[in-house]
Amino acid sequence: MFTASSLPVPLSRDLEIRSMLFLVQVLWQNPGASDEELEELLIRTGFCTGKQAEVLLEKLPVILRYLYGKDEVVEHPLSVVAATVCQVYEQEDELRQEAAKSLVQDDGEVARAALPCPYPTSEYGFDLQQSSE
């Protein structure tokens, strides 16, 4: 999976989640919107660069699969969309943590920094670290 936090100038986790919610809402109203149109909208918000918008758009199909089981968009309550988006990010964090743990060598030394990625509780009330505790 991709994340805008892997960029040299990352988006905050909350801003990334809000941007994904924005994209889903735009797709509800304009189901035929192209990636170029969505990228332009993200840039026009003033909260992300072109590269950040590209990375967010690469993750959008993952969000849509979780929401709908396909790329087709059907309107859901915002609370359902927010919970789904947060779930995707939680699972991404779990995968990242598993990868970091696999870097720990048998003798206890760390091959590379295998530190947890601390993300705050999102403004939607979902603890992004809830499932990793």
Q: How confident is the model at residue 74, as a pLDDT?
A: 64
Positions in the chain short of pLDDT 70: 1-9, 70-75, 104-133
- Report the C-alpha gap between 132 and 55 in whole angstroms: 25
Q: How many domains does the chain have?
A: 1
Q: What is the dihedral of CA 35, 73, 123, 90, to 10 degrees?
A: -90
- 110 beta partners: 104
The pTM (predicted TM-score) of the whole model is: 0.62
Give the pLDDT confidence score for residue 73 in this predicted structure: 61
The rounded distance, in Å, linking the Cα atoms of 129 and 14 is 13
pLDDT for the residue numbered 7: 61
95 burial type by CB count under 10 A (0-12 exposed, 13-18 middle, 19+ buried): exposed
Per-residue pLDDT, 14: 82
- Residue 21, pLDDT score: 87
Residue 16 is encoded by which pair of tokens? 């990334």
Domain residues for the domain of 121 are 4-132
Take residue 76 and report the two structure tokens written for it: 């859901």
